[in-house]
Amino acid sequence: MTDWQTYPISQLRQLFQEKQLPDTAWQQLEADPRKGVQLLVCQHQHLQEKRAELRQAFQDRTKWEQPYWQAGQIVAGVDEVGRGPLAGPVVTAAVIWPAEAVVLGINDSKQLSVRQREKLYPQIVAQAIDVSIGVGSPQLIDRENIYHATELTMRQAVQHLRIQPDHLLVDAMRIPVDLPQTRLIKGDAQSIPIGAASIVAKVYRDHLMADYDQVYPGYGLAQNAGYGTKIHLEHLQAVGPCPLHRQSFAPVGKARQSLG
Protein backbone atom coordinates (compact mmCIF):
# COMPACT_ATOMS: atom_id res chain seq x y z
CA MET A 1 0.00 0.00 0.00
CA THR A 2 1.34 3.44 -0.93
CA ASP A 3 2.34 5.63 2.00
CA TRP A 4 1.32 9.06 0.73
CA GLN A 5 2.63 10.79 3.83
CA THR A 6 6.18 10.10 2.68
CA TYR A 7 5.71 12.09 -0.54
CA PRO A 8 7.24 15.59 -0.77
CA ILE A 9 4.67 18.38 -0.68
CA SER A 10 5.79 19.61 -4.12
CA GLN A 11 5.03 16.21 -5.64
CA LEU A 12 1.67 15.98 -3.88
CA ARG A 13 0.79 19.44 -5.15
CA GLN A 14 1.63 18.43 -8.71
CA LEU A 15 -0.42 15.23 -8.43
CA PHE A 16 -3.30 17.27 -6.99
CA GLN A 17 -3.18 19.72 -9.91
CA GLU A 18 -3.12 16.79 -12.34
CA LYS A 19 -6.04 15.12 -10.48
CA GLN A 20 -3.94 12.00 -9.91
CA LEU A 21 -4.52 11.52 -6.17
CA PRO A 22 -6.97 8.67 -5.37
CA ASP A 23 -9.46 8.71 -2.49
CA THR A 24 -7.17 6.47 -0.44
CA ALA A 25 -4.47 9.14 -0.66
CA TRP A 26 -6.75 11.81 0.78
CA GLN A 27 -7.74 9.53 3.63
CA GLN A 28 -4.07 9.26 4.60
CA LEU A 29 -3.23 12.90 3.98
CA GLU A 30 -5.99 14.13 6.30
CA ALA A 31 -3.79 12.81 9.14
CA ASP A 32 -0.56 14.30 7.75
CA PRO A 33 0.62 17.06 10.15
CA ARG A 34 2.50 19.08 7.51
CA LYS A 35 0.90 22.51 6.97
CA GLY A 36 1.40 22.37 3.22
CA VAL A 37 -0.40 19.04 3.06
CA GLN A 38 -3.27 20.31 5.20
CA LEU A 39 -3.64 23.23 2.80
CA LEU A 40 -3.96 20.75 -0.07
CA VAL A 41 -6.53 18.77 1.93
CA CYS A 42 -8.58 21.94 2.49
CA GLN A 43 -8.41 22.78 -1.22
CA HIS A 44 -9.49 19.25 -2.11
CA GLN A 45 -12.41 19.38 0.31
CA HIS A 46 -13.49 22.75 -1.09
CA LEU A 47 -13.43 21.38 -4.64
CA GLN A 48 -15.42 18.32 -3.56
CA GLU A 49 -18.04 20.54 -1.92
CA LYS A 50 -18.20 22.75 -5.00
CA ARG A 51 -18.59 19.72 -7.25
CA ALA A 52 -21.41 18.39 -5.06
CA GLU A 53 -23.15 21.78 -5.30
CA LEU A 54 -22.80 21.78 -9.09
CA ARG A 55 -24.13 18.23 -9.30
CA GLN A 56 -27.14 19.14 -7.18
CA ALA A 57 -27.71 22.28 -9.26
CA PHE A 58 -27.58 20.16 -12.41
CA GLN A 59 -30.19 17.77 -11.03
CA ASP A 60 -32.40 20.66 -9.93
CA ARG A 61 -32.31 22.06 -13.46
CA THR A 62 -33.65 18.87 -15.03
CA LYS A 63 -37.05 19.04 -13.30
CA TRP A 64 -38.86 20.42 -16.35
CA GLU A 65 -37.52 17.85 -18.80
CA GLN A 66 -37.67 14.80 -16.50
CA PRO A 67 -41.37 14.00 -17.17
CA TYR A 68 -40.75 13.98 -20.92
CA TRP A 69 -37.60 11.89 -20.59
CA GLN A 70 -39.45 9.40 -18.40
CA ALA A 71 -42.12 9.14 -21.10
CA GLY A 72 -39.40 8.40 -23.66
CA GLN A 73 -39.81 11.73 -25.43
CA ILE A 74 -37.13 13.87 -27.07
CA VAL A 75 -36.81 17.34 -25.54
CA ALA A 76 -35.09 20.36 -27.10
CA GLY A 77 -34.18 23.53 -25.26
CA VAL A 78 -34.26 26.78 -27.25
CA ASP A 79 -32.80 30.17 -26.35
CA GLU A 80 -31.63 33.40 -27.96
CA VAL A 81 -28.76 35.84 -27.58
CA GLY A 82 -28.40 39.34 -28.95
CA ARG A 83 -31.79 41.03 -28.83
CA GLY A 84 -30.39 44.20 -27.26
CA PRO A 85 -27.26 45.11 -29.29
CA LEU A 86 -27.17 47.94 -31.81
CA ALA A 87 -25.24 45.81 -34.30
CA GLY A 88 -25.05 42.22 -35.43
CA PRO A 89 -27.58 39.41 -35.73
CA VAL A 90 -29.80 37.83 -33.13
CA VAL A 91 -28.59 34.24 -32.67
CA THR A 92 -30.64 31.31 -31.42
CA ALA A 93 -29.75 27.74 -30.59
CA ALA A 94 -31.72 24.53 -30.14
CA VAL A 95 -30.18 21.71 -28.12
CA ILE A 96 -31.54 18.18 -27.70
CA TRP A 97 -30.11 16.91 -24.43
CA PRO A 98 -29.89 13.21 -23.50
CA ALA A 99 -31.33 12.19 -20.14
CA GLU A 100 -28.16 10.36 -19.10
CA ALA A 101 -25.64 13.10 -19.93
CA VAL A 102 -24.13 15.23 -17.15
CA VAL A 103 -22.10 18.38 -17.79
CA LEU A 104 -21.64 20.31 -14.57
CA GLY A 105 -21.88 24.09 -14.66
CA ILE A 106 -24.56 24.56 -17.33
CA ASN A 107 -26.52 27.70 -16.50
CA ASP A 108 -27.81 30.94 -17.97
CA SER A 109 -24.90 32.13 -20.14
CA LYS A 110 -25.16 35.62 -18.62
CA GLN A 111 -24.24 34.17 -15.23
CA LEU A 112 -21.06 32.57 -16.57
CA SER A 113 -17.68 34.09 -17.37
CA VAL A 114 -16.22 33.99 -20.87
CA ARG A 115 -13.80 31.32 -19.71
CA GLN A 116 -16.59 29.18 -18.25
CA ARG A 117 -18.67 29.45 -21.42
CA GLU A 118 -15.72 28.59 -23.64
CA LYS A 119 -15.00 25.54 -21.48
CA LEU A 120 -18.61 24.35 -21.48
CA TYR A 121 -19.29 24.90 -25.19
CA PRO A 122 -17.32 21.91 -26.57
CA GLN A 123 -18.61 19.69 -23.76
CA ILE A 124 -22.19 20.59 -24.63
CA VAL A 125 -21.65 19.97 -28.35
CA ALA A 126 -19.99 16.62 -27.58
CA GLN A 127 -22.70 15.41 -25.19
CA ALA A 128 -25.84 16.72 -26.90
CA ILE A 129 -27.87 14.50 -29.21
CA ASP A 130 -28.27 17.39 -31.61
CA VAL A 131 -27.38 21.10 -31.75
CA SER A 132 -28.46 23.70 -34.29
CA ILE A 133 -28.08 27.44 -34.76
CA GLY A 134 -30.38 30.12 -36.15
CA VAL A 135 -29.10 33.53 -37.27
CA GLY A 136 -31.40 36.51 -37.76
CA SER A 137 -29.73 39.28 -39.76
CA PRO A 138 -29.92 43.00 -38.93
CA GLN A 139 -32.02 43.38 -42.08
CA LEU A 140 -34.53 40.83 -40.78
CA ILE A 141 -34.63 42.66 -37.46
CA ASP A 142 -35.28 45.99 -39.18
CA ARG A 143 -38.00 44.51 -41.37
CA GLU A 144 -39.85 42.44 -38.78
CA ASN A 145 -38.93 44.10 -35.42
CA ILE A 146 -36.64 42.41 -32.93
CA TYR A 147 -39.28 40.31 -31.17
CA HIS A 148 -40.72 38.75 -34.31
CA ALA A 149 -37.25 38.34 -35.82
CA THR A 150 -36.26 36.39 -32.71
CA GLU A 151 -39.32 34.14 -33.04
CA LEU A 152 -38.48 33.43 -36.68
CA THR A 153 -34.84 32.76 -35.85
CA MET A 154 -35.84 30.37 -33.06
CA ARG A 155 -38.02 28.55 -35.58
CA GLN A 156 -35.03 28.37 -37.91
CA ALA A 157 -32.93 26.73 -35.18
CA VAL A 158 -35.65 24.16 -34.44
CA GLN A 159 -36.17 23.37 -38.13
CA HIS A 160 -32.43 22.86 -38.61
CA LEU A 161 -32.32 20.06 -36.04
CA ARG A 162 -31.60 16.70 -37.67
CA ILE A 163 -33.95 15.00 -35.18
CA GLN A 164 -37.45 16.34 -34.60
CA PRO A 165 -38.12 16.82 -30.88
CA ASP A 166 -41.37 15.80 -29.22
CA HIS A 167 -41.41 18.85 -26.96
CA LEU A 168 -39.72 22.25 -26.79
CA LEU A 169 -38.63 24.07 -23.66
CA VAL A 170 -38.27 27.74 -24.55
CA ASP A 171 -36.88 30.69 -22.65
CA ALA A 172 -39.85 33.06 -22.26
CA MET A 173 -41.04 33.00 -25.88
CA ARG A 174 -43.45 31.16 -28.14
CA ILE A 175 -41.97 29.69 -31.32
CA PRO A 176 -44.17 29.61 -34.45
CA VAL A 177 -43.81 25.86 -35.07
CA ASP A 178 -46.33 23.05 -34.81
CA LEU A 179 -44.71 21.39 -31.81
CA PRO A 180 -45.78 21.21 -28.16
CA GLN A 181 -43.77 23.72 -26.16
CA THR A 182 -43.41 25.11 -22.67
CA ARG A 183 -42.44 28.74 -22.05
CA LEU A 184 -40.26 29.24 -18.99
CA ILE A 185 -39.45 32.67 -17.59
CA LYS A 186 -35.68 32.73 -17.00
CA GLY A 187 -35.70 29.24 -18.43
CA ASP A 188 -31.95 29.28 -19.11
CA ALA A 189 -31.41 29.18 -15.33
CA GLN A 190 -34.11 26.53 -14.77
CA SER A 191 -33.55 23.97 -17.51
CA ILE A 192 -30.41 22.17 -18.69
CA PRO A 193 -31.41 22.06 -22.40
CA ILE A 194 -32.30 25.78 -22.38
CA GLY A 195 -29.14 26.67 -20.45
CA ALA A 196 -27.09 24.64 -22.92
CA ALA A 197 -28.77 26.46 -25.82
CA SER A 198 -28.04 29.78 -24.13
CA ILE A 199 -24.32 28.95 -23.91
CA VAL A 200 -24.12 27.66 -27.49
CA ALA A 201 -25.85 30.76 -28.87
CA LYS A 202 -23.72 33.13 -26.79
CA VAL A 203 -20.37 31.57 -27.70
CA TYR A 204 -21.34 31.32 -31.38
CA ARG A 205 -22.43 34.96 -31.50
CA ASP A 206 -19.37 36.24 -29.61
CA HIS A 207 -17.07 34.48 -32.07
CA LEU A 208 -19.09 35.83 -34.99
CA MET A 209 -18.85 39.40 -33.67
CA ALA A 210 -15.10 39.01 -33.13
CA ASP A 211 -14.80 38.04 -36.81
CA TYR A 212 -16.93 41.03 -37.84
CA ASP A 213 -14.63 43.28 -35.83
CA GLN A 214 -11.92 42.55 -38.39
CA VAL A 215 -14.24 43.59 -41.23
CA TYR A 216 -15.71 46.66 -39.53
CA PRO A 217 -13.01 47.96 -37.15
CA GLY A 218 -13.41 50.84 -34.75
CA TYR A 219 -16.74 49.94 -33.17
CA GLY A 220 -15.13 47.53 -30.69
CA LEU A 221 -17.36 44.64 -31.77
CA ALA A 222 -14.97 41.99 -30.46
CA GLN A 223 -15.23 43.48 -26.98
CA ASN A 224 -18.82 44.75 -26.85
CA ALA A 225 -20.53 42.20 -29.14
CA GLY A 226 -22.49 45.05 -30.70
CA TYR A 227 -23.87 46.52 -27.49
CA GLY A 228 -23.91 50.30 -27.07
CA THR A 229 -20.73 50.87 -25.11
CA LYS A 230 -19.00 54.25 -24.96
CA ILE A 231 -16.43 53.29 -27.61
CA HIS A 232 -19.12 51.88 -29.88
CA LEU A 233 -21.36 54.95 -29.60
CA GLU A 234 -18.49 57.38 -30.13
CA HIS A 235 -17.36 55.61 -33.31
CA LEU A 236 -20.96 55.30 -34.50
CA GLN A 237 -21.47 59.04 -34.08
CA ALA A 238 -18.13 59.82 -35.76
CA VAL A 239 -18.39 57.66 -38.89
CA GLY A 240 -21.97 56.42 -38.93
CA PRO A 241 -23.37 52.88 -39.06
CA CYS A 242 -21.95 49.92 -40.94
CA PRO A 243 -24.00 47.16 -42.66
CA LEU A 244 -24.18 45.27 -39.36
CA HIS A 245 -26.09 48.02 -37.58
CA ARG A 246 -29.80 47.76 -36.90
CA GLN A 247 -31.18 50.83 -38.63
CA SER A 248 -34.45 50.65 -36.69
CA PHE A 249 -32.68 51.06 -33.33
CA ALA A 250 -32.81 54.66 -32.11
CA PRO A 251 -29.08 55.33 -31.50
CA VAL A 252 -28.25 54.06 -34.99
CA GLY A 253 -30.92 56.18 -36.66
CA LYS A 254 -29.84 59.23 -34.66
CA ALA A 255 -26.20 58.78 -35.71
CA ARG A 256 -27.18 58.36 -39.35
CA GLN A 257 -29.31 61.52 -39.29
CA SER A 258 -26.62 63.58 -37.57
CA LEU A 259 -24.18 62.76 -40.38
CA GLY A 260 -26.69 63.72 -43.03
pLDDT (mean) for 119-142:
98
Residue 35's pLDDT is what? 94
pLDDT band at 15 (very low <50, low <70, confident <90, very high): very high
Q: Name the β-bridge partners of 91.
A: 81, 135
Is the pLDDT reported for residue 92 higher than 90?
yes
Residue 187 has pLDDT above 90, yes or no: yes
N-terminal to C-terminal alpha carbon distance within the chain: 81
Is 80 within any annotated ligand binding site? Answer: yes
% the chain with pLDDT above 70: 100
Please name every residue paired with 79 in a beta bridge, in sequence order, or none if there are none: 93
Q: How far is Cα 70 from Cα 87, in angstroms, rounded to an integer?
A: 42
Where does the chain hold its CATH 3.30.420.10 domain(s)?
A: 71-211
Maximum separation of any 2 CA atoms in the chain, in Å: 81
pLDDT bucket at 259, cuts 50 / 70 / 90? confident
Give the pLDDT score at 50: 87
Q: What three-state secondary structure class fits 90? A: strand
Instruction: Tell me the pTM.
Output: 0.86
- Alpha carbons within 13 angstroms on the beta-carbon side of residue 175 total 29
Q: What is the DSSP string of 97-151?
A: --TT---TT---GGGS-HHHHHHHHHHHHHH-SEEEEEEE-HHHHHHH-HHHHHH
Task: Give the pLDDT score at 215.
Answer: 98
Does the structure show a pLDDT above 80 at 260? Answer: no
Q: Which of 54-63, 68-77, 111-120, 135-144 has the lowest mean pLDDT?
A: 54-63
Is pLDDT above 80 for 208?
A: yes
User: What's residue 1's pLDDT?
Assistant: 75
Residue pLDDT, tens place only, 33-83: 999 999 999 999 999 998 888 889 899 999 999 999 999 999 999 999 999
Q: For domain 71-211, which architecture applies?
A: 2-Layer Sandwich (3.30)
User: How confident is the model over 212-225, as a mean pLDDT?
Assistant: 98
Q: What's the CA gap between 54 and 35, in Å, rounded?
A: 29
Name the average pLDDT for the chain. Answer: 96
